[in-house]
Amino acid sequence: MRDLSKAAAKVAPKAHMLIISNPVNSTVPIVAEVFKRAGVYDPKRLFGVTTLDVTRASTFLSGIAGSVPADTNVPVVGGHSGVTIVPLLSQAKQGSAVQAGEQYEKLVHRIQFGGDEVVKAKDGAGSATLSMAYAAARFSNSLLKALSGEKGVVECAYVESPLFKGQADFFASPVELGTEGVVNIPALPQITAEEQKLLDTCLPDLKKNISKGQKWAEENP
């Protein structure tokens, strides 16, 4: 990741960088530090691709609600691993189909650890490569639309964010895309008490992940 970032900073400093290599919570800060060191960092052009979390959340919710996955949209905020993944089920039209308590908790856990489910299904012989490719293609297509001038393009992405500055300088949330990359990072909508608990659990872990990436980049210039 470091060496690829160095090469990109040298030959394509204005490129829009879409990072999907795990652990995204740490690799995105690594790329940011490399670009900063090269003097070409532009936070509007660096994205951690978290579309897979949105796809999983939307697909799993549609299975409960009986809706079409393509018509089901669950914003997922926070980070891109384990408890840092915070699905905002309350923001989906079909979210009311989920019963509070055990069903909600099981669904959140499945969204957060869906990758483990795939590894088990493949008997340890692989991971979620196809769905990861789909996520990369979807986000890339959305960004290309925005770069070509289409308005109102919004995707969840892990970017340098003001939403929880100090607690987590990088944070995934719905982001408006435009011709220069990130155009706007709206504040989070009003969330439920359950989602607030998930967010409170997310932030300390996310901060550790970010610091780990930044420290690695500092120690391995």
Residues with a catalytic annotation lie at 80
* Helices 129-147, 51-65: crossing angle, 10 deg rounding: 110
Query: How far is the C-alpha of 208 from the C-alpha of 9, rounded, in Å?
Result: 26
Closest to 205 measured CA to CA, from 107, 64, 81, 112: 81
Query: How far is the C-alpha of 218 from the C-alpha of 215, rounded, in Å?
Result: 5
Query: How far is the C-alpha of 41 from the C-alpha of 14, rounded, in Å?
Result: 9
Query: How far is the C-alpha of 195 from the C-alpha of 22, rounded, in Å?
Result: 24
Query: How far is the C-alpha of 18 from the C-alpha of 21, rounded, in Å?
Result: 9
* Helices 24-37, 2-11: crossing angle, 10 deg rounding: 40
Angle at 45 between CA 40 and CA 50, to 5 degrees: 135
Report the sign of the C-alpha dihedral through residues 163, 168, 169, 172, in that order.
Answer: negative
